[in-house]
A and B are shown apart, each in its own frame.
Chain A
């Protein structure tokens, strides 16, 4: 069963705390992504990873960093979370950016920073 799994699904953190969002995929996809979704703005790309230790900033990378040490696993880290990082975060994966392949999305993590 092809899927992208995100953990946790819901998270509440205090301002200034560190946040770790985890994502896994079982399709051996090369490319993985982190997006955030805010009302009225659609999905905005935070980071893209082309493979292990090959990451690139997306459109809104400020305040975030990522880690990809295994092909199937991609983490999003918020160092010292801010209230404006309250959002729904989606992880996604695709076979390769060399192809216009379908992008598969996880179910999202709803992060609230108070």
Chain B
């Protein structure tokens, strides 16, 4: 069974700086997919970025990037040049390869960007 763990409950950062969030996962599969989602204050959940387990290169989308350390079963999210609107809860999720698989989520990390 897959499991995703986010140990950081809350992080506060100054605007325009970089924030890093941790996530570790457990799976028996050799092929899997890792995702980060953002939940805004209104409750809306949006997809941010994805890492495929077979890819060595870290994914990057806009000011979001990933730090994928496969031997440590770790997938960190890095947000550079943070803005006030980056304040949100960030969820790490994974999906094993396979028809029947669905997303398993971590418990989330709340990021507060201070002006």
Inter-chain contacts of A100 with B (CB < 8 A): 33, 50, 52, 95, 97
For residue B39, give the distance in angstroms from its CB to the closest CB of chain A: 9
Name A's B-contacting residues (CB within 8 A). 33, 35, 40-45, 48, 50, 56, 58, 88, 90, 97-98, 100, 102-105, 107-108
Give the number of A-B contacts (CB < 8 Å).
53
A107→B41 CA distance, assembly (Å): 11
Inter-chain contacts of B47 with A (CB < 8 A): 102-104
Interface hits, B39-55 → A, CB 8 Å? 42-47, 50, 52
A90→B44 CA distance, assembly (Å): 10
State whether A40 touches B107 (Cβ < 8 A).
Answer: yes
Knowing A42-B107, A43-B105, A100-B52, say if A105 contacts B45 (CB, 8 Å): yes
Answer yes or no: B104 CB below 8 A from chain A CBs. Answer: yes
